[in-house]
Amino acid sequence: MRHFLLAGTAALAISAGMARAEESVEVLHWWTAGGEAAALNVLKDNLAKEGVAWKDMPVAGGSGVQAMTALRARVTAGDSPTAVQMLGFDIRDWAEMGVLANLDDLAEKQGWGNVIPAALQEFSKYDGHWIAAPVNVHSTNWLWINKAALDKAGGKVPANIDELFALLDAFKAQGIIPLAHGGQGWQDGTLWEAVVLSVGGPDFYKKAVLEADPEALGGDTMRTVFDDMTKLRSYFDTSFSGRDWNLSSALVIEGKAGAQEMGDWAKGEFLRAGQKPGEDFVCIRFPGTQGSVLFNSDQFVMFEQDDAGKTEAQLKLASAVEDPAFQIAFNTVKGSVPARTDVPDTDFDDCAKKGMKDVVEASASGNFMGSLAHGYGQPAAVKEAVFDVVTQHLNGQITTDEALKRLPEAVAAAQ
């Protein structure tokens, strides 16, 4: 990996008078939903105060797949954006190409290594060098429940997947959509990984997902996973195919659906609608996954620039991202929890307080594990191979027997 000059002291020494007129960041990201856009404005406003102009390049698509496609086109054309929102294995891929800025000086100055979880640092660093600034920690194994519908169903939150099925039956009896789901590959994968963890536990998740063990991918436990996915499919409404995740969240918010399995970015939609956790909606770990956290983290990587003004602007962006005050302001809006473990939970709602506590406990127990669906479980090729099989099965295009045969084959072919 090349050693870079971007975060060096020479860049930091550029005078404000020389650089200010040129300081700008063009940021490629996929924060386009309402709650996400509101959270992003916090960062834009902070940078504006530093004299850094923000050039927006939004690419819709909840897991960043479309954004990475757009990025490749830009880089191929020799027109790299200055900063890019990026996830796990995608960060490693770009780091291997030697096109990312080195943030070591800034990270050392601000003590990132002391406050960012070790499991996350594995993706924020490459070859021993900091190449990404993590904004947050998201976790994917959450269930969001409409409080009124839950109360009508008896008020008991499900502790395991069988109790979840019973609750969904109660929602069905109420005449509402039991489980709001959007039929997109990454959403199917998000639901699937939660079921994998629920059915098999953390050790099975590690073996099947993180290690891609063929026997685990095609064995009896995975059969139960696929059978449970088939059952969950029966609780979707007929209009689920292709629906964006935030529209499914809206169904729960409006009381048209009982629950949604989705990462904690969904909470931003509830909060933006003026709802309060515990009063209007309930947040719990997906039944059967208590004690474990499937994580992903939005991170910003900086692409090498020849322009000194853009270089200093990049450093200001990275610095702003790791500022504790920003981590509070951003994550209270976004629905995630801070990437920094030294940020107090005082200003966070009950769901976030639980999320922050869960991250610490799961990290200590070794059950803080990367989300496959969101780029921290396997490289993109493997992730997409899993999506294909899971989606085909969920849509009834292949049987469980066929899925159990195809899944290990598809993963092996993609490795």
Report the amino acid identity of residue 371: S
In whole angstroms, give the CA distance from residue 122 to residue 322. 17
- Specify the higher pLDDT residue, 31 or 88: 88
Return contacts of 184-187, CB within 8 angstroms, 24+ apart: 184/62, 184/242, 184/243, 184/244, 184/245, 185/65, 185/384, 185/387, 185/388, 185/390, 185/391, 186/62, 186/63, 186/65, 186/373, 186/374, 186/387, 187/62, 187/245, 187/262, 187/373
**pLDDT exceeding 70 applies to what percent of the chain?**
94
Identity at 155, one-letter amino acid code: G
pLDDT at 378: 96
Q: What pLDDT does 3 receive?
A: 43
Average pLDDT, the chain: 91
**Residue 17: pLDDT above 80?**
no
What is the spatial distance between Cα 233 and Cα 165, in angstroms, rounded to a whole number? 11
Overall average pLDDT of the 187-211 stretch: 98
**Dist CA 400 CA 408 (whole Å):** 13
Does the pLDDT of residue 122 top 80, yes or no?
A: yes
**Could you give all domains of the chain from N- to C-terminal order, each with its CATH number?**
9-138+296-351 (3.40.190.10), 140-294+365-414 (3.40.190.10)
* Cβ 373 vs Cβ 196: under 8 Å: no
Q: Mean pLDDT check: name the lowest of 28-37, 172-181, 192-201, 290-299.
A: 28-37
Mean pLDDT of 200-216: 98
DSSP H or E stretch at residue 337: strand 337-338
DSSP β-ladder status, 299-302 and 133-134: antiparallel
What pLDDT, on a 0 to 100 scale, did the predictor assign at position 62? 62
| pLDDT the model gives residue 211 | 97
The answer for residues whose C-beta is within 8 angstroms of residue 79's C-beta and 6 or more apart is none
| Residue 38 confidence (pLDDT) | 82
- Span 224-244, average pLDDT: 97
CA distances 227 to 35, 83, 109, 160, Å, are 34, 42, 51, 15
pLDDT score of 44 = 92
- Coil, helix or strand at residue 145: strand
Give pLDDT, residue 334: 83
Note the pTM of the prediction, 2 decimals: 0.85
Query: CA geometry: angle at 197 spanning 192 and 201, to 5°?
Result: 155
Percent of the chain surpassing pLDDT 90: 76
Q: Which of 7-11, 220-224, 258-262, 395-399 has the lowest mean pLDDT?
A: 7-11
Residue with the larger pLDDT of the pair 48 and 11: 48
Residue 18 has pLDDT above 80, yes or no: no
Residues in the chain: 415
Pick the range with the lowest mean pLDDT from 184-198, 258-272, 323-337: 323-337
Q: How confident is the model at residue 127 (pLDDT cuts 50, 70, 90)?
A: very high
Is 92 or 9 the better-scoring residue by pLDDT?
92
Residue 241 pLDDT > 90: yes
Under the banding of pLDDT at 50, 70 and 90, the label for residue 14 is very low
